[in-house]
Amino acid sequence: MNKITLLIVAFTIMVSAVAQETQNSPGTLITDRPDATESPNTVPVGYLQVETGAFFESFKTGSTKFEDFTLNTSLVRIGLLDNLELRLGWNFVESSIKLNDSKLDHVMSGFSPMLFGAKVNIAHEKKGFPEIGLIGHVFLPFTAGKDYKPETTGIDFRFAFAHTLSENSSLSYNIGAQWGDDSPEAAYVYTIAYGVGITDNLGAYAELYGDLPENHNANHFWDAGLTYLISDSVQLDATVGSSITDGQDILLSGGISFRIPTKKH
């Protein structure tokens, strides 16, 4: 019943967002979901953008299978200046373990640490040079549920780049690093995504991404998906993916993003 209620609330908000669109809408919505690649674009001043959804992923090691279901992957982005946005994110996760296809009694659930950060648009695309953005976050331990509460504050940063290849295609990529899971070890992260517009409303993408920890083996993944613009301010998405190296067996994701004005325009 809780999941049904959340879906009803999301649909109501989506309809409200459509109703609030005006002729002064600041262009087509650009989101940081569903792929792992973040865009260098910031949310326009005076607008609030919500990007939310759910995903399922599973990992298998020998006869043990780990399953994570994230019901709420919400990221809230607020335009503060022409090239600056504030970012807040919070996920609710439920994790279970299966041994020889039998689910164990212990199930972990709760909020992961809240993400707090900002994105700065550094440079616009010009004469072959990409659009560039810088994104940084801290992950606050005191906001997490007991099953997912780390002892130390995690941080990450990345530079985001985007090239326009043609009228309906683009190439985006990120490089950066992250520290988390109560470890002083840095993990260097990378992403590269190719996007193409199939129609004015329907888009598709394919992506490679991963991380390279200082003292452990690298992890490499792929995913692909579709986006559908209901309007300039509302977008739906769906994704499927897996790992290239040992690890993730399957990733399935779906979500909605919408933008609403915080003041009259």
Half-sphere exposure of 228 (CA within 13 A, CB side): 7
What pLDDT band is residue 104 in, cutting at 50, 70 and 90? Answer: low
226: Cβ contacts below 8 Å, ≥ 6 apart: 202, 203, 204, 237, 238
Written as six digits, the tokens of 93 are: 């996760």
B/e letters for 106-139, b = 16+ CB within 10 Å, e = fewer, are: eeeeebbbbbbbbbebeeeeeeeebbbbebebeb
Mean pLDDT within 1-13: 45
Is the pLDDT score of 81 beyond 90?
A: yes
Residue 253's H or E segment, with its range, is: strand 248-261
What pLDDT band is residue 208 in, cutting at 50, 70 and 90? Answer: very high
Cβ proximity of 177 and 155 under 8 Å:
no
pLDDT digits (tens, 9 = 90+) for 159-179: 999 999 999 999 999 999 999
Sign, CA torsion 48/49/54/56: negative
57 DSSP 8-state letter = E
Is residue 264 classed exposed, middle or buried when 0-12, 13-18 and 19+ CB atoms within 10 A define those classes? exposed
CATH of 2-261, one of 3.30.210.10, 3.40.605.10, 3.40.470.10, 2.40.128.130: 2.40.128.130
C-alpha span between 227 and 201 (Å, rounded): 8
Closest CA to 114 of 135, 142, 134, 146: 142
pLDDT digits (tens, 9 = 90+) for 106-160: 678 899 999 999 999 999 999 889 999 999 999 999 999 998 999 999 999 999 9
What pLDDT band is residue 103 in, cutting at 50, 70 and 90? Answer: low
Is the pLDDT score of 23 beyond 60?
A: no
Residue 16's H or E segment, with its range, is: helix 2-19
Fill in the amino acid letter for 244: I
C-alpha span between 254 and 124 (Å, rounded): 30
Is residue 149 classed exposed, middle or buried when 0-12, 13-18 and 19+ CB atoms within 10 A define those classes? middle
pLDDT at position 4, please? 41
Asked which of 26-35, 95-104, 170-179 is least confident by mean pLDDT, the reply is 95-104
Q: What is the pTM for the complete model shown?
A: 0.86
Q: What is the 3-state secondary structure (H, E, C) of 91-137?
A: EEEEEEEEECCEEEEEEEEEECCEEEEEEEEEECCECCECEEEEEEE
C-alpha span between 169 and 152 (Å, rounded): 41
How many other C-beta atoms are found inside a 10 Å radius of the C-beta of residue 154? 19
Cβ proximity of 189 and 210 under 8 Å:
yes
C-alpha span between 136 and 38 (Å, rounded): 11
Q: What is the percent of the chain with per-residue pLDDT over 70, rounded to a whole number?
A: 88
